[in-house]
Amino acid sequence: MRNTIASLLSIIGAGNDRKALQDTLAPIVAQVNTQALNSAGLVISSTTTKAKIGASDFYATVRGRLLKIAAATDMPALSGTVTNAKFNVFVFYVNASGTVSSAMGAEAGTLGGVVFPDLPTDQALIGFVIINPTGTGNFVGGTTPLGDLTVVPNAVYISPIGAVDPTILYS
């Protein structure tokens, strides 16, 4: 028999207690059953302005359902500008139907000051690109090549595995 949070909470008699626990556990369960199962191995696409899945297929679960993105699949075009000498992230997600989307964080003067965009509900994190243009100008998503060493010598590709959500804070 497959356990669900609702079935396990049914043993709690007080309705308010059950509801409080359900509200607390729901986002934790969503985080655990929606995640990357292996590294996407993000790299620069042949278009040079996009990232792509690396040499191996990428697998994730979204709401407990297994899905795959084939190796060498391009990620969506980056949209937005990162100011010269600032840091920011472009994050890639996949939903249960396999549709990939991206979002840009909020830039900062330090890497630690970057604010990640909110993780969309029911989407797994594929990975992200850290951009820190320290060359001749701003990085313009969809226009500036990711390998352009005169503008972006500091593009870093991160493909985390597991239940990662950098927007969750304890306090």
CA distance 71 to 38: 12
CA distance 64 to 44: 30
pLDDT at 170: 66
pLDDT at 85: 95
CA distance 76 to 138: 20
Q: What is the DSSP letter of 136?
A: S
Run means of pLDDT, 10 residues per run, the chain, 171 residues:
72 78 77 89 92 97 94 97 96 96 98 94 94 92 90 87 77 61
* Residue in this structure with the two tokens 């790299």, named with its chain if needed: 43
- pTM, two decimal places: 0.86
Contact 77, 113 (CB under 8 A): no
Q: Looking at the chain, which runs of residues are DSSP E strands?
A: 35-36, 43-44, 51-52, 58-62, 65-69, 81-82, 88-95, 100-104, 123-131, 139-140, 156-158
- Can you give 23-56 as a three-state secondary structure string? HHHHHHHHHHCCEECCCCCCEECCCCCCEECCCC
